[in-house]
Amino acid sequence: MRRVVITGAGTVNALATDVPGTFAAFREGRCAIGPLDIRDKDRLGVGIGAQVQGWTPEAHFNRQQIALYDRFTQFSLHAAREAITQSGLVFEDQLSLTSGVVLGTAGGGVNTWDENYRAVYEEGKNRVHPFVVPRLMNNAAASHISMEWNLRGPTFSVSTACASANHAMGLAFQMVRSGAATVMLTGGSEAMLCFGGIKAWEGLRVMSRTACRPFSLTRDGMVQGEGAGVFVFEDYDHARARGAVILAEVAGFAMTSDAGDIVMPQAAGAERAITGALRDARLNPSDVGYINAHGTGTAANDKTECAAVAHAFGAHADRLMISSTKAMHGHCIGGTGAVELLACLMALNDGVIAPTIGYEEPDPECALDVVPNVARQARVDAVLSNAFAFGGLNAVIALRRV
């Protein structure tokens, strides 16, 4: 079995359109949630979200590309450029053949669906743009990254709602570890802040109309965000041989299914994913200094997640730090685990723990150190990132300093 390391990171999210900017926002505890600026917002009950502001596709892509790239693909490509540039990799010859892409997305080209349904149903048009299908398909982002960077190995997309990115990164890790690939570009992307995308969530009655306040007694729901995170997962020996800067080792991964309810999470399934990731990484619970929580700010997730962590870690649960960065960048759905993995890299490399902002009042059912409101300096050697999806699907990644 090979060791797997991260040698590049990139992102687009509501806090910033690159990793340094996102780290700065994490350190400041900045909130990117604000009034939604989208078509027909007057017909929405939910008026807030974490939108990527000032995104101009023309600044990054030419006209033919924009015709083919949904917003979620644009975010993915931009994040991949940052990650690959940082890694210094050039994909030629054998490396090109053994490198691929696995990206998570829950909805794929939701804006493309939305705009074209509007055209045919609301506006009564009988003709749509010829590229509707290649724009909206879930694998569009993975395919365009592979085309832009000459990645000719295993390339596909994963869709497991809010755990999509963690499942994708877990598979990328397993593929590099097993030798099935030398390098995998991986992470996730989501762009569903359009009328249909928000209206669908609104129907479920779990959205906050005020703010995202994870773990706070006063929390009243989740707030949607959008964005992408893309990472370079590389065979450790390959990275060492070329003198690459290593951001972290991907130490372990586990996934479980609650096999219970389609929306209500269960602590036992989450706990099995956490303990499974520790076992896979050969980490003791006491090795873990920080957990990036799923922490959606819903009543159900936060208490279930805290119960799972408390049970999985025992006495050490009171000594580790756990924070949710969703109160800053919103819930990026299928891309969220990738955006949140950045907080894990910041913790390991910079010794700064991103805070849980919006925290107002302790909840006895979330009695852990949630790093409320202000970032904290702390040296940590191993971290986890949790993602728990509708459908009862749990995916947990363990990283450690090399």
Partner 1 sequence: MTIRDRVIAIIAEQAVLDVADVADDSTLESLGIDSLGLVESIFAIEEAFDITVPFNANDPSQGGFDLTSVSAIVAGVERLIAERPA
Q: Rounded to whole angstroms, how far apart are CA atoms 132 and 286? A: 50
Q: How many residues sit in the footprint of partner 1 (CB under 8 A)?
A: 16
Q: Which is nearer to partner 1, 223 or 283 (CB)?
A: 223
Q: Whole-number minimum distance, CB 219 to partner 1, in Å?
A: 7
List 144, 167, 294, 329, catalytic entry: 294
The amino acid at 48: I
**Shorter beta-carbon distance to partner 1: residue 259 or 262:** 262
Closest CA to 89 of 169, 181, 188, 180: 181
How many CA atoms are closer than 13 Å to the CA of 42, on its beta-carbon side? Answer: 0
Strand segments, DSSP code E, in 54-207 are 99-104, 155-158, 183-190
Indicate whether 260 belongs to the interface with partner 1 (CB under 8 A).
no
Cβ–Cβ under 8 Å, residues 116 and 217: no
Q: Of 81, 12, 20, nearest to 53 (Cα)?
A: 12
Which residue(s) pair with 322 in the sheet?
291
- Residue 90 as a binder of partner 1 (CB under 8 A): the answer is no
In the complex with partner 1, which residue's Cβ is closer, 33 or 169?
33
Asked if 200 is part of the footprint of partner 1 (rule: CB under 8 A), the reply reads: no
- For position 259 contacting partner 1 by CB under 8 A, the verdict is no
Q: What is each CA distance from 180 to 119, 146, 153, 290, in whole angstroms? A: 44, 16, 9, 30
Q: How far is the CB of 265 from partner 1 (least distance, A)?
A: 12
Reading the block at residue 8, the tokens are 């590049």
Closest CA to 336 of 74, 35, 50: 50
Binder of partner 1 out of 159, 174, 186, 298 (CB under 8 A): 298
Residue 220 binding partner 1, by CB under 8 A? yes
Indicate if 332 belongs to the active site: no
Active site residue 294: yes
306 catalytic per annotation: no
Question: Using the rule CB under 8 A, which residue among 67, 133, 147, 204 binds partner 1?
Answer: 204
Contact residue for partner 1 among 78, 135, 219, 400 (CB under 8 A): 219
Closest CB to partner 1 among 168 and 223?
A: 223
Minimum separation from the CB atom of position 365 to partner 1 (A): 13
**Is there binding between residue 362 and partner 1 (CB under 8 A)?**
no
Q: For residue 246, what is the DSSP state?
A: P
- Contact call for residue 299 and partner 1 (CB under 8 A): yes
Structural contact between residues 137 and 108, judged by C-beta atoms closer than 8 angstroms: yes
Which position among 208, 224, 323, 325 is part of the footprint of partner 1 (CB under 8 A)? Answer: 208
- Active-site annotation holder among 31, 78, 162, 167: 162
Question: With CB under 8 A as the contact rule, which of the stretches 30-38, 203-211, 285-293, 346-354 interacts with partner 1?
Answer: 203-211
The answer to whether the CB of 232 falls within 8 A of the CB of 19 is no
Residue of 300, 316, 390, 402 interacting with partner 1 (CB under 8 A)? 300
Q: Could you say which of 68, 200, 264, 374 contacts partner 1 (CB under 8 A)?
A: 264
Binding segment for partner 1 (CB under 8 A), chosen from 112-120, 198-206, 234-242, 369-377, is: 198-206
Catalytic residue selected from 331, 332, 344, 366: 331
Alpha-carbon gap, residue 276 to 255, rounded angstroms: 8
Query: Is 356 among the residues that bind partner 1 (CB under 8 A)?
Result: no
- Taking CB under 8 A as the binding criterion, the range among 2-10, 236-244, 285-293, 298-306 that sits at the site for partner 1 is 298-306
Considering only CA atoms, give the Rg of the chain: 20
Tokens at 216, concatenated: 């706070």
221 binds partner 1 (CB under 8 A): yes
**What CA–CA distance (Å, rounded) separates 17 from 181?**
28
Q: Is 262 in the site for partner 1 (CB under 8 A)?
A: yes
Structure letter (DSSP) for residue 50: B
**Rounded-to-integer distance, Cα 352 and Cα 139, Å:** 34
The answer for residues whose C-beta is within 8 angstroms of residue 150's C-beta and 6 or more apart is: 91, 92, 96
CB of 24 to partner 1, least distance (A): 31
Residues marked active site are found at: 162, 294, 331
The contact set with partner 1 (CB under 8 A) reads 45, 203-206, 208, 219-221, 261-264, 298-300
